[in-house]
């Protein structure tokens, strides 16, 4: 762990405009700073624990620089800005130069998050942070209060999902660089939007990875899907841990990010007495005491293991929340979509009902797909610690053709899926464009400049889908058209049926915010009744005096349902089959006998108040 603030990785400027330059390179004999314009080399001095440092007034903000390591020119491993891409020199950026106006603005509490996942390059035609700012009012109007930005750390070229980043501290140049990101976050906060940033600490991308030139950032002790694991517990791991811990703190402290979504943490290998995630959370807590702000860590992981979100006082890592892929899997199967691969582990209706109640579907039960008993109980953890969705970048983009749900199910089923997510006792997340039934796919795309690597990616995608016996050709991940055809079509929004879908989402989000029983994160205040024969699920939720009944009909037939008997009767809040949502008619408030007729592929919400 880095204790000395003067040993923050990279280039940091002090109040006098001097640059404090730090590199961790424990096994090198010399390291020099190269001022590219003048070709002047300045040697760094070796410090303890493998650090090299230099304080100089010769390097100014905006200057282009490199390091000389092993006789070669190399970007700064903690570069903040690569204006010429991953293979070019670094540019010095003063993180303190941006004038923030959000200091006294209130933060959105985690329990209130309505999340909208987006990819910077395809969210707008321009594919930049600045262009994203032009859509913030739209998101506020929709009811969103938290955006989740897919990874922005520097990757090769200008087209990538972001999970091939190679410089964790650097903000992608084609998106606008570090100042543009700071400006975006500030603009979000002024409009009441929290910002979640997707970060990757389980691997480094394949092109432009300079970390091995500087030190043992990787270990062959473990294998991951992407090669050698990042070195969190082998020889010289302290410097590596410090590098990534400081990266976490930088996003919160210097970019005012509200939360980090940490990609695939099950692929982080660490057998240390204090797991790297636990140490990160501990340092984040220290930062929160200094800033007076909340800083959340939310993980994606495929383990159904509550130790990640368990408080440190009870032996856990203390993280704030996690994605629940199993809710998505169960919802997909309930909607009648194909049960192949890991989806084969899920049953229509019953799996979804279980996830509503228990979060995890597999919580100590046998998984046929995994051929083992899998998961633990998630009892005692509030709903705000779980993020659910009907689609996200993975579950769309990892299909061969990148089809969105709008291309796979009916308009009625799309509304039902939206309702299923937004009435859950968990944090809901939308994937960009689903709110107006975007038709364009979201495909896998890259822009590697290494021809051999590019060809290897093409062949890898073909092999991947051959294993699923999918016919046809996978789109070329390197193709510009693959990227362009994945962009949102904002011109669809005012047209039908897209405007109706948008208004439906807007209304549904407002209901979740305004109805106490829907907004309640208490997982004990829910009852779930699945009906496998009729393919329906009835959910009862409550908060104080209010009760809510939600009936979900996944079948292709009209279903009769009796609502529970209540003294004051039931009032309809919304029915997805109503004609105003392009449905078949208008559902009236339930009659005295409480018998309702639910249209195929629809849902309705009722309240007793």
Q: What is the reported pLDDT for 451?
A: 86
Please state the residue numbers annotated as binding site: 261-266, 325-329, 393-398
Question: pLDDT exceeding 90 applies to what percent of the chain?
Answer: 89
The pLDDT tens digits of the residues spanning 530-564 come to 999 999 999 999 999 999 999 999 999 999 999 98
Q: What is the reported pLDDT for 116?
A: 99
User: Which string of DSSP letters, residue by residue, matches 58-107?
Assistant: S--TT-EEEEEETTEEE--TT-S--TT-TTS-EE---GGGS----TTSPP
The pLDDT tens digits of the residues spanning 147-183 come to 999 999 999 999 999 999 999 999 999 999 999 999 9
Task: Decide if pLDDT at 1 tops 60.
Answer: no
223-240: average pLDDT: 93
Distance CA 425, CA 517 (A): 9
- Among residues 139, 143, 140, the alpha carbon closest in space to that of 118 is found at 139
CB under 8 Å to 95, separation ≥6 — which residues? 12, 13, 80, 178, 250, 254
Tokens representing residue 409 in the block:
């199910």
Pairs from 536-544 (Cβ < 8 Å, separation ≥ 24): 536/349, 536/561, 536/598, 537/334, 537/349, 537/352, 537/353, 537/356, 539/356, 539/423, 540/564, 541/423, 541/425, 541/517, 542/517, 543/516, 543/517, 543/519, 544/516
Q: What is the reported pLDDT for 4?
A: 53
Q: What is the reported pLDDT for 2?
A: 42
- Choose the catalytic residue: 76, 233, 263, 363: 263
Q: Where in the chain is the domain with CATH 2.60.40.1180?
A: 527-607
pLDDT category, 35, cuts 50, 70, 90?
very high
Please state the residue numbers annotated as binding site for substrate: 261-266, 325-329, 393-398
HSE (CB half, 13 Å, CA atoms) of 219?
A: 17
User: Is the distance from CB of 385 to CB of 450 less than 8 angstroms?
Assistant: no
Q: Where in the chain is the domain with CATH 2.60.40.10?
A: 5-96
Buried b (16+ CB within 10 A) or exposed e, 286-306: eeeeeeeebbbbbbbbeebbb
* DSSP 8-state class, residue 44: P
Distance CA 128, CA 486 (A): 15
Homologous superfamily (CATH) of 527-607 is Golgi alpha-mannosidase II (2.60.40.1180)
pLDDT category, 471, cuts 50, 70, 90?
low
Determine whether 137 is an active site residue.
Answer: no
Determine whether 300 is an active site residue.
Answer: yes
Helices assigned H by DSSP within 386-446: 393-397, 411-422
Task: Decide if pLDDT at 3 tops 50.
Answer: no
- Choose the catalytic residue: 117, 246, 270, 300: 300
DSSP-assigned beta bridge partners for residue 603: 552
- Domain at 5-96, CATH from 2.60.40.10, 3.30.70.890, 3.90.550.10, 1.10.760.10: 2.60.40.10
Classified as helix, coil or strand, 184 is helix
The average confidence (pLDDT) of the chain is 95
Task: Decide if pLDDT at 235 tops 50.
Answer: yes
pTM score of the predicted model = 0.96
């Amino acid at each position: 762990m880095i204790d000395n603030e003067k040993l923050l990785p990279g280039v940091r400027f002090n109040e006098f405009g001097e640059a404090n330059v730090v590199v961790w390179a424990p096994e090198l004999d010399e390291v020099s700073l190269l001022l590219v314009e003048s070709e002047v080399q300045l040697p760094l001095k070796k410090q303890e624990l493998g650090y090299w440092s230099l304080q100089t007034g010769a390097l100014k903000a905006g200057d282009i620089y490199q390091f000389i390591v092993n006789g070669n020119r190399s970007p700064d491993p903690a570069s903040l800005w690569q204006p010429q891409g991953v293979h070019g020199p670094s540019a010095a950026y003063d993180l303190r130069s941006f004038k923030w106006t959000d200091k006294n603005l209130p933060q959105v509490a985690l329990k209130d998050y309505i999340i909208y996942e987006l990819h910077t390059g395809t969210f707008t035609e321009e594919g930049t942070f600045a262009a994203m700012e032009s859509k913030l009012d739209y998101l506020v109007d929709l009811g969103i209060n938290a955006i989740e930005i897919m990874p922005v750390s520097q990757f090769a070229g200008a087209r990538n999902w972001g999970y091939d980043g190679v410089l964790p501290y650097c903000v992608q140049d084609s998106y606008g660089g570090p100042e543009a990101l700071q400006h975006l976050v500030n603009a979000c906060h002024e409009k009441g939007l929290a910002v979640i940033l997707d970060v990757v600490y389980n691997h480094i991308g394949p092109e432009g990875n300079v970390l091995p030139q500087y030190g043992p950032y990787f270990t062959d002790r473990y294998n991951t899907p992407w090669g050698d694991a990042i070195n969190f517990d082998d020889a010289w791991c302290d410097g590596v841990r410090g590098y990534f811990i400081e990266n976490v703190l930088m996003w919160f402290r210097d970019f005012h990010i509200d939360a980090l979504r940490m990609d695939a943490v099950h692929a982080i290998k660490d057998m240390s007495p204090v797991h790297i995630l636990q140490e990160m959370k501990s340092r984040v807590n220290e930062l929160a005491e200094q800033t007076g702000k909340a800083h959340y860590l939310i993980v994606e992981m495929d383990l159904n293991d509550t130790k990640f979100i368990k408080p440190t006082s009870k032996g856990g890592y203390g993280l704030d929340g996690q994605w629940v892929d199993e809710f998505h899997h169960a919802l997909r199967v309930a909607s009648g979509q194909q049960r192949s691969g890991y989806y084969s582990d899920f049953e229509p209706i019953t799996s979804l009902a279980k996830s509503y109640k228990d979060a995890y579907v597999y919580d100590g039960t046998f998984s046929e797909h995994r051929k083992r008993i899998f998961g633990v109980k998630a009892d005692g953890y509030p709903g705000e610690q779980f993020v659910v969705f009907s689609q996200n970048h993975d579950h769309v983009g990892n299909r061969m053709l990148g089809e969105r749900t709008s291309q796979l199910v009916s308009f009625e089923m799309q509304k039902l899926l939206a309702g299923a997510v937004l009435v859950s006792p968990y944090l809901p997340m939308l994937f960009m464009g689903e709110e107006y039934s975007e038709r364009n796919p979201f495909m896998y795309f890259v822009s590697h400049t290494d021809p051999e690597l590019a060809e290897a990616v093409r062949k890898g995608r073909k092999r991947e889908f051959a294993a699923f016996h999918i016919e046809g050709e996978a789109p070329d991940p390197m193709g510009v058209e693959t990227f362009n055809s994945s962009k949102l079509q904002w011109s669809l929004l005012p047209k039908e049926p897209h405007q109706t879908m948008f208004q439906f989402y807007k209304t549904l989000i407002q209901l979740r915010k305004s109805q106490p029983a829907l907004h309640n994160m208490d997982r004990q205040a829910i009852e779930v009744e699945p009906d496998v024969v009729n393919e329906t699920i009835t959910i009862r939720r409550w908060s104080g005096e209010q009760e809510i009944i939600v009936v979900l009909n996944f079948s292709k037939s009209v279903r009769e349902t009796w609502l529970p008997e209540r003294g004051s009767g039931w009032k309809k809040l919304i029915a997805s089959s109503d004609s105003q949502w392009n449905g078949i008619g208008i559902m009236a408030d339930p009659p005295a006998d409480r018998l309702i007729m639910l249209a195929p592929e629809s849902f309705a919400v009722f309240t007793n108040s």
